[in-house]
Amino acid sequence: MNPRNVEARDVLISIAEDGDRLSRGEAVLRSDSVGPALAAHGRYRYSAIGQRPDFNWPQGRRLAVYVGLNLEHFAFGDGLGAELCPGGPHPDVLNYAWRDYGNRVGVWRLIELFDELELPLSVLANSSIYHYCPEVMEAFRARGDEVVGHGRTNSERQGVLAPDEERQLIAEATDVIARAEGRRPRGWLGPWISQSQVTPDLLAEASYEYLLDWCMDDQPVWFSTRNGGRILSVPYPQELNDIPSIVGRKDSGEQFATMITDTFEEMLAQSKRQSLVMGIALHPYLVGQPHRLRPLRRALQTILARRDEIWITTAGGIAAFSRALPDGIVPT
C-alpha cells in the first residue's frame, strides 16, 4: 500500500487491527486529521501527557526511579559491539577487551557501589552471561535483583531475524534465565534496542508482561498485540544512557553524572503535575571505569538523599504496579 492523501474516516482502523496487519507484514496507514497518511506501527495512540488521568505511585510518591544495568557478552572478532576506538584491525582485540573489562572488573565495582547505596537493580542480562561468567549472575541473585531478558548476546540484533528465528531467540534466552533463576523473566529489552514488526506480539505470546525498547514516554503505555492481546511498555532511557552519552556524544563521566542529577531535579519538579518514571541505563564497561564511577556515585547519592520523596524501584516493580491500575489510567 502506498501512502496517499486520505481523510481521517478512511483510516479509522482499531489499534488491534493495526497490530494484526503488522504481524502479517502489511503496511498500516494512519492519519488522525485530514492530510497524508503515513506508515504507522499500530501499537498505541497519541496521548498528550498533560491530558491523562492522574495517579500516584506507592505511598503517594510521584516519581519512580530505577536503574537498568546492562550485562552483555560479545563474540570475539565477530558481530556487533560498542567501540572505544573504531576502525581497528581484526580480530578487534582492543574493543573486545575494553568491553570484557566490564564483566571482569567494572561490574564488581558497581556491585560494591550498589550495595553501599542499598540500591535495587533491574539487571538486563544477555543469556550468554550465564555461561561466560555465572559468578556475576550469582552475585545479583544474592542481592535479590530483578533479571530482565536481554537476548542471547549483544553481538546480534533480533529485529533482522525472520519470525521463527526471532521466536527461537526469545525462547532460548528465556529458558536460560528461567533455569538459573527458578522463574521466567517478566520484562525484555532487545539487544541493541532492536525490534521487528512482530516483536511485541512474540513477547506477549511468550508470556512477557513488559518491554523496555520504546523511549517515547515518561509513563508506562499499553501496547496492542495481535489477537487482541497487549503488553506494557515501561520507559527506558536513550538520553540518560551511558552508551549514547559517553560512546556516542563523547561526554565525560562528569557530564553524564550532571545529566543524571539535572534530569532528576527537573523530573521531580515535573512530577508534581504527573507521576513519572525516571530510568538510568548503565553498562559496566563504561561506568565501571574508575574515573566514571566516582561521579556516578555522587549523582546517585544526590538522588538517594531524596529517597523519602520518591519511589526507588525496578522496571518490574513499575510494570506490576501499572498493570494493577484501573483500566483507563495507563494510556493505550
Instruction: Look at residue 1 in the predicted model and tell me its pLDDT.
Output: 39
Distances (CA, A) of 46 to 4, 42, 236: 21, 11, 18
CB 331 within 8 A of CB 52: yes
For 245, the grid coordinates are 552519552
CA–chain centroid gap for 110, Å, is: 19
CA dihedral 181, 190, 236, 96 (to 10 degrees): 90
Structural domains in the chain?
A: 5-42 (no CATH), 50-238+312-323 (3.20.20.370)
Q: Provide the pairing of β-strand 29-30 with 38-39.
A: antiparallel
Q: Which pLDDT score, from 0 to 100, does residue 93 have? A: 78
Using a 10 angstrom Cβ sphere, with 0-12 exposed, 13-18 middle and 19 or more buried, the burial of residue 190 is: buried
Phi, psi of 163 (to 5 degrees): -55, -45
How much is the pLDDT for 20?
58
* Per-residue model confidence (pLDDT) at position 308: 98
pLDDT means over runs of 10, the chain (332 residues) = 34 46 52 69 96 98 99 82 67 85 98 99 98 99 99 94 98 99 98 94 98 98 98 98 96 99 99 99 98 99 99 99 98 97
C-alpha cell at 135: 559468578
CA 262 to chain centre: 21
Residue 219: DSSP 8-state: S
Tell me how far CA of residue 242 lies from CA of 68, 71, 140, 246, in angstroms: 11, 13, 21, 5
127 secondary structure, DSSP code: T
Give me the sign of the Cα torsion angle 162, 164, 168, 170: positive
Instruction: Write down the pTM of the prediction.
Output: 0.89
List b or e across 7-21, with b for residues whose CB sees 16 or more CB atoms inside 10 angstroms.
Answer: eeeebeeebbebbbb
Per-residue pLDDT, 8: 31
How far is it, in rounded angstroms, from Cα 255 to Cα 246? 9
Q: Which residues of 240-269 are buried (b: 16+ CB within 10 A; e: fewer)?
A: bbbbebbbeeebebeebbebbbebbeebbe
The string of pLDDT tens digits covering residues 257-303 is 999 999 999 999 999 999 999 999 999 999 999 999 999 999 999 99
Question: Which of 219, 199, 174, 215 shows the shortest CA–CA distance to 329?
Answer: 219
* Res 246: pLDDT: 96
Helix (H) or strand (E) holding 186: none
320-329 long-range contacts, CB within 8 A, separation 24+: 320/186, 320/209, 321/57, 321/58, 322/220, 322/232, 322/234, 323/209, 323/232, 325/55, 328/53, 329/52, 329/53, 329/55
Q: What is the DSSP letter of 157?
A: -
pLDDT of residue 48: 98
